[in-house]
Amino acid sequence: MKGLTGKTALITGASSGIGQAIAIRLAQEGCNVVINYRKSAQEAEDTSERAMQTACQKSNVRSLLIQGDVSKEEDILNMFNQTIETFGSLDILVNNAGIQKECPSHEVTAKDFDNILSINLRGSFLCAREMIKHCLSQNRAGIIINVSSVHEIIPRPLYASYSISKGGMENLTKTLALEYAARGIRVNAIAPGATITPINQDWIDHPEKKAMVESHIPMARSGTAEEMAAGVAFLASDDASYITGQTLFIDGGLTLYADFREAWSA
């Protein structure tokens, strides 16, 4: 895709699932990739290895692994410092790190609520803030892509904290896009539908549960992490140079009100 070669991209939560696929795809497009991971250095190294193999035609592409928890401000500052020290600048931030936890809303603890919001939303905001500061200080353009969810618009019972965090992400995307559009900073989001990644381990290995999930999807199948990464690559590229403040739904039609596929009455 246009304009990605030679850029540097930082992807949070990049050692598995969608984040891993984004790191690999952006490396394939010629970007240096900063792979943030929280726990598993081994998974991060595997991601880096796969990204570098994919990028092997473009020998200038490099990867940097940084451990860090996006719910901790000091870890975020360290992540940006290390990135700028290594690469001199940063062009693309992908706020991908996210967690969810099932719980009836009336039983959610303040601790769990805060934890989900502090990773999914506050962490994304703080990373975006650092990215914007960096762009303004170097007087350079920048790209921020938030990995949101179809649940930024579809309410999700039993996952209120997650739903609220992704609803907030829609506003985060739009507010920052408007505030910094004239400074050359584009802010967009992708909203994945049901995607085959570790976050969905409870249903992807169970044919019955999987079939139930997929029965709600107009295209009748789950998405892949690579399909999500393709959307990120597009939004990060110069092919999307006039797009800001938008959420690209990559969901096999999940947000099209699947229950209306057939008429409800004669």
Q: Which residues are marked as active site?
A: 162
Binding mask 131-150 for ligand NAD (x = CB under 6 A): ----------------x-x-
Q: Compute the 3-state secondary structure of the chain and give helix, strand, coil in percent, each to the nearest 5.
A: 50, 15, 35
Q: Binding to ligand NAD by residue 200, rule CB under 6 A?
A: yes
Helix (H) or strand (E) holding 48: helix 41-54
Would you state the structure tokens that stand for residue 6, as one six-digit string? 């030679």
Least spacing, CB of residue 240 vs ligand NAD, in Å: 19
Q: Binding to ligand NAD by residue 13, rule CB under 6 A?
A: yes
Q: State which residue, 1 or 190, has the beta carbon closest to ligand NAD.
A: 190
Q: Binding to ligand NAD by residue 194, rule CB under 6 A?
A: yes
What residues between 76 and 105 interact with ligand NAD by CB under 6 A? 96-99
DSSP 142: E
Would you state the structure tokens that stand for residue 18, as one six-digit string? 């969608």
Among 38, 122, 134, 186, binds ligand NAD (CB under 6 A): 38
Distance of alpha carbon 48 from alpha carbon 24, whole angstroms: 8
Among 42, 198, 220, 243, binds ligand NAD (CB under 6 A): 198
Among 1, 4, 64, 70, binds ligand NAD (CB under 6 A): 70
Would you state the structure tokens that stand for residue 20, as one six-digit string? 């891993």
CB 61 within 8 A of CB 55: yes
Residues in the chain: 266
Would you state the structure tokens that stand for residue 99, as one six-digit string? 């967690």
Would you state the structure tokens that stand for residue 59, as one six-digit string? 């020998």
Helix (H) or strand (E) holding 190: strand 185-192
Among 32, 71, 173, 188, binds ligand NAD (CB under 6 A): 71
Least Cα distance to 47 among 16, 13, 8 occurs for 16
Distance of alpha carbon 176 from alpha carbon 172, whole angstroms: 6
Q: Binding to ligand NAD by residue 47, rule CB under 6 A?
A: no
Least spacing, CB of residue 122 vs ligand NAD, in Å: 10
Q: State which residue, 8 or 20, has the beta carbon closest to ligand NAD.
A: 20
Least spacing, CB of residue 234 vs ligand NAD, in Å: 17
Binding site for ligand NAD (CB under 6 A): 12-13, 15-19, 36, 38-39, 69-71, 96-99, 119, 147, 149, 192, 194-195, 197-200
